[in-house]
Structure 1
Amino acid sequence: MCDDEIHPGLIQDPTLSRRKFGLLAAAMTGVATVAHADDAVEEKDVEIKTPDGVADAALFYPKGKGKWPAVLMWPDIWSLRPVFRQMGRRLAAAGYVVLVPNLFYRTKKAPVMEGAMNFADPKDRDTIMALAKTVTPTTAVVDAKAFVAFLDTQPQTNKAEPIGTQGYCMGGPLAFRTAGAIPERVGAVASFHGGGLTADGADSPYLLIPKTKAAYLVAIADNDDQRDPASKDKLKAAFAEAKRPATVEVYAGANHGWTVPGSQAYNEASAEKAWSELLALYKKALA
């Protein structure tokens, strides 16, 4: 995993509770979004066999009878933890079967870090970067195929519809790689403050765009854009050349990590805007 896919200075609270998450959402939307999602959604801890071992993950889907499009949600560098469970519930409540895997199952079950985590702290940084290096372009393809196959075995999944995949921070490139690995299945890709999407090298995620059949949403953090302003132009050019429908947008004033409640950079207004854009993408592309 390229260091460019990780932004320094992040502070995350992996123990963010349902109540805290609900208060954050209610403060922005005026409704108890998460409490409603918990009432409407089934949640299961699952284990998924892959060629490299057994991955721990969380599965969410709407309560009641029915079938819904599936979504593979790739978390950020801190991997599967309470806040991403809450995000999975929220998306499932909108009418999707959602899988949130532990990125680092080859090394450690989730949660992979305990307590507040600061990327600026050398000990925390060294620990999480050692885990991040276990995720490579090769393992990403192995995992994407296994996770999508698992979703397609679920009785709640509507296999007649394409699946969506979304990623945060280092999960952004993983979403791109999922679309490249299973183009006939993936209909929508979303990246939120994804790092290294246009990194140098033959295995750069954006080079997979011509192989895919998906529509894209790429939401870029303001400070990431300042660090690499050419990246968005490379993405736009690649999407245009491949004739892939895509929205590439820099979120002014929103820094890396702004979509994840509990992070130092969390920005409620911009996070809700990004969430609305995500639902609009899925409504159009996964129907």
Structure 2
Amino acid sequence: MRTLIQKIHIEEYNSFACRTYKTPDFETAWHKHLECELILITAGNGTALIGDYIGDYKKGDIFFLSPDLPHWFRKSNQETVGSAIVIHFKKDFLGRVFLDLPELKNISKYLDNKDTCIQLQNELLISIEELIRKLEYTEGIDRLLLLITCLQIISVSPEYKIITKAFDAMTGGEENSVIEEIIDYSFKHFLSPISLQEIAGITSMSIPTFCRFFKRNIKKSYFEFIKEIRIGHACKLLRETNKPVLDICYESGYNSWAHFSKQFKDVSRITPSQYRKQHIEA
């Protein structure tokens, strides 16, 4: 049985870990760890599942995750290469006394955020990418200073988006295996109708038990989860293809334009056409 808790290896001569994870090491299960994580995607694209958040990730994206936050970066095409530079560190890796210094109040406050993930934006994204790429090949005190600089710049910048907050994971090893099975099945079949009887059946649970289990662990109903996967797929098609919006509706698992349009607006707060226009102009 695979465990939810991932053990992060930190060399004895370092206070934190920074390394590249590339296929097949990039492909990890739904997991969490005691360390904070700063991750720069360097190759590949797909869907990020972080706490109760579901959304796209692509090359150049940077996420900061607080400790004990379950996550999974799932490639859109399993034949492609996924890669990321990942920094793992305990939030008190500098020592609690050091973090209590008044000069570090912004960093300390930032690290104390519980079960939160942010996605970096705009100029902040560019600045931190440069530092992370440099940090991977730096040693000694300069390595430590680069990480502190990253945290300081992030902590005083408004250029980030909170994508999940106060997500209290309740899964253990056996429950994690069931969650993985549900997520894997959902990604393979989300373009087709999935009934509660069908998805509950693969877990050998009754429908009421399955609904309670899923809501307790993912913090949303199963149909909300499927909706976000389908709309995420539609957003990708709107950004990356010139297909008519009606065709994208049908290719995203919907057989009703009205239903698709309503669900798209529920998730994205704008219409499909407005979403496409925003990304063309960007």
Q: Report the TM-score range of the alignment, normalised by the length of the smaller protein.
A: under 0.3
Tell me the TM-score normalized by structure 1. Answer: 0.26
Larger Rg: 2
Tell me the TM-score normalized by structure 2. Answer: 0.27
